[in-house]
Amino acid sequence: MRRLLLAALPMLALAACQVPGRVAASRSVVFFTSDSAALDENAASLISDVAERAKANPGSPVRVRGFAAPEGSVGFNQALAEARARNVADVLVAAGIDRSRIRIEPRGPVPYEMVPTESRRVEILLGS
């Protein structure tokens, strides 16, 4: 129980320090298939949910971080990470989020984490 409480303290501190008009930071993750920047139905739904939260919090910035798996050339994977992030950003814009609020951050290839699909992702960070 003590560990659970200690783990919750940073989140409570973040909530207490919210700037008026800004939402507490949230992270949503869109996953991709190998060598693809195409969005599937699940991704579109998740991005739509993020867009609604962003519209409800117009003062919050939106960061879109693109990642790719480590296999293959670094140049290809860097371009793939950027294409993934841009595709997600384009859907956010189409859903009504002003492009000036969105910062695209292609991170390129990253080592596998727990499973290979985790490296093939875009993180959407809303707030701070």
Q: Which domains does the chain have, with CATH numbers?
A: 27-126 (3.30.1330.60)
Under 8 Å between Cβ of 110 and 92: no
Q: Other CB atoms closer than 10 Å to residue 6's CB: what's the count?
A: 9
What does the alpha-carbon distance between residue 26 and residue 104 come to, in Å, rounded to a whole number?
A: 16
Q: Could you tell me the two tokens for 113? A: 């984490």
Q: Other CB atoms closer than 10 Å to residue 7's CB: what's the count?
A: 9
One digit per residue, the tens of pLDDT, for the chain of length 128 reads: 334 333 333 433 333 334 444 456 899 999 999 999 999 999 999 999 999 999 999 999 999 999 999 988 999 999 999 999 999 999 999 999 999 999 999 998 888 777 777 899 999 999 96
- In degrees and rounded to multiples of 5, residue 98 shows phi and psi of -65, 130
SS3 percent helix, strand, coil of the chain, rounded to 5, is 45, 20, 35
Query: One-letter amino acid identity for 3?
Result: R
Q: Structure pTM? A: 0.78
Paired sense of beta strands 102-109 and 26-31, if any: unpaired
Paired sense of beta strands 26-31 and 62-68, if any: unpaired
